[in-house]
Structure 1
């Protein structure tokens, strides 16, 4: 059974390509994915069978061997560091909440800082499996 790595896959389009061990592209339809799998991450190692399609080789019966490592997951802060960040964020949100109770929004600079921090923390929590 040939193997290769996912070059790219777009679940919305319903297809993607595998680059095989010889460096050739193999078309992969979403219907070739294992049951329950809707997308594959770039770089995931797969095994598959090949049939000749209208425009060249086409992967069938794709089996996921190893998922590609998540760059976000590998670079996110350690849990202890993240705990300190979350505690600081809670203090900032509490201060903003107290101001809102007094009918005052935070200044533009404070709002921008808070929004940036919220996005950064959310990105560290939102990691694909």
Structure 2
């Protein structure tokens, strides 16, 4: 049975693609997922069968393989620390909002700092439990 990693999967569209280890991509229809599974995360390791579909190879009988624990999840801040980070971020956003109310954008350095912080905080919230 071939194995690979989910390149992307969109539950709303009902399909995605799997990158085969050492090969091409394979179409992944939602119907190939096991019962009770509605979506797969990007990078999830899976085993599957391949059949020839109308537009090329297509995955069937997909079985997710238990993956290693997430490094991001293991290293993200504790909830109490994250609360303090969010409070500091709110202060920075409030300052940026006040600057915008005066019909100006924050300086380039402040904007870059704020964007970097927003991305970092978003990454900590985006980790699936």
TM-score by length of 2: 0.63
Q: Give the deviation of 1:32 after TM superposition.
A: 0.5
In the alignment of these two chains, the number of paired residues is: 113
Structure 2: segments with no counterpart, 5+ residues? 91-96, 100-113
Distance in 2 separating the partners of 1:4 and 1:44: 8
**1:33 maps to which residue?**
33
Q: Give the deviation of 1:74 after TM superposition.
A: 4.7
Distance change >3 Å, CA 15–CA 71, structure 1 → 2: farther
Structure whose alpha-carbon radius of gyration is higher: 1
**1:2 maps to which residue?**
2
Structure 1: segments with no counterpart, 5+ residues? 93-106, 110-115
Q: Conserved in 2, the CA contact under 8 Å of 1:46 and 1:62? A: yes
Root-mean-square deviation (Å): 3.8
TM-score by length of 1: 0.63
Distance in 1 separating the partners of 2:126 and 2:21: 32
